[in-house]
Amino acid sequence: MIAPLPGLRLHPGYFDRAAQEALVEALRAVVAAAPLFTPRMPKTGKPFSVRMTNCGRLGWVSDAAGYRYQTTHPDTGAPWPAIPAALLHAWEALADYPAPPEACLVNVYAPTARMGLHQDRDEEDFEAPILSVSLGDSCVFRFGGTTRGAATRSFRLHSGDALTFGGPARLAFHGVDRILPGTSTLLAQGGRINLTLRRVTKPAPARG
Ligand code: SIN
Ligand code: MN
């Protein structure tokens, strides 16, 4: 486990090759039930370069009306499929949080896709960390402070890596500068998949 910044923890190769292949299979079923869609920027309607879907009770969507969580797929209207068990186990092992994740955002990056610097702040609960899992081609991941102007640094994320950001890093700006094509054989078409698990609502207080 590597901690490049307070609250940021990298677990290189957390998922071995067999576990990565099993995750890709599980994601095929997710995408069959909840097809990939192209999110759009609020207001401008400009399309993201990644395609997305979700699993879990809640899914994150973005369109001209804004960013939000919703219980149904924006195109099909169907509830999101369940989060694969292997991801729930990873959350239990790495998140150090007493309640399960409610949302798993699936970002699919073609070789030219990227993700601008942003904060994850559409959740009600910032006590839970973000758990991010990388599959397929490596990427140059950029991570900064909690203000847009703070210094940033970049490091590579590889297939099978798990990353948590919580505590002082929970609201840190982050993004993906670029995909490094040809760095993984996991996905036949190349490209990268990122899975972001999040707790959205505050868990009910424990009784007793
Ligand atoms: C995201 O912040 O939504 C995605 C990050 C990543 O692809 O690693
Ligand atoms: Mn994010």
Kindly state whether residue 206 falls inside one of the protein's structural domains: no
Q: What is the pLDDT of residue 144?
A: 94
* Beta strand ranges found along 71-184 (DSSP E): 103-109, 115-118, 130-136, 139-143, 153-157, 162-165, 174-179
192 Cα nearest atom in ligand 1: 7
pLDDT tens readout for residues 10-30: 999 999 999 999 999 999 999
* Mean residue pLDDT across the chain: 95
155 band by pLDDT with thresholds 50, 70 and 90: very high
CA of 150 to the centre of ligand 2 (A): 17
Closest CA to 179 of 133, 137, 147: 137
Residue numbers of the domain that contains 170? 2-198
109 Cα nearest atom in ligand 1: 7
Kindly state whether residue 205 falls inside one of the protein's structural domains: no
Which of 40-79 are b and which e, b meaning 16 or more Cβ less than 10 Å from the residue's Cβ? beeeeeeebebbbbbbbbbbbbbeeeeeebeeebbeeeee
Q: How many residues are present in the chain?
A: 208
CA of 64 to the centre of ligand 2 (A): 19
Q: What is the pLDDT of residue 91?
A: 98
Site to probe by mutation for ligand 1, drawn from 107, 117, 198 as the one with most ligand atoms within 8 Å of Cβ, is 107
100 band by pLDDT with thresholds 50, 70 and 90: very high
Q: What is the pLDDT of residue 4?
A: 62
SS3 content of the chain, % helix, strand, coil (to 5): 15, 35, 50
- In angstroms, the Cα distances linking 132 to 88, 95, 135 are 12, 10, 10
Residues with CB under 5 A from ligand 2 (ion): 120
Kindly state whether residue 208 falls inside one of the protein's structural domains: no
Q: What is the pLDDT of residue 204?
A: 87
CA of 144 to the centre of ligand 1 (A): 13
pTM of the model: 0.96
137 band by pLDDT with thresholds 50, 70 and 90: very high
Residues with CB under 6 A from ligand 1: 107, 115, 132, 141, 174, 176, 194, 196
pLDDT tens readout for residues 32-69: 999 999 999 998 999 999 999 999 999 999 999 999 99
Query: Is the per-residue pLDDT at 96 higher than 70?
Result: yes
Q: What is the pLDDT of residue 1?
A: 59
CA of 206 to the centre of ligand 1 (A): 32
Kindly state whether residue 105 falls inside one of the protein's structural domains: yes
Kindly state whether residue 18 falls inside one of the protein's structural domains: yes
Give percent of the chain above pLDDT 90: 94
Q: Is 63 helix (H, G, I), strand (E, B) or coil?
A: strand
CA of 175 to the centre of ligand 1 (A): 6
Kindly state whether residue 79 falls inside one of the protein's structural domains: yes
Kindly state whether residue 8 falls inside one of the protein's structural domains: yes
Parallel, antiparallel, or unpaired for β 103-109 and 51-55? antiparallel
Query: Is the per-residue pLDDT at 161 higher than 80?
Result: yes
Domains in the chain: how many in total? Answer: 1
Kindly state whether residue 204 falls inside one of the protein's structural domains: no
- Supply the CATH number for residue 189's domain: 2.60.120.590
157, amino acid identity: L
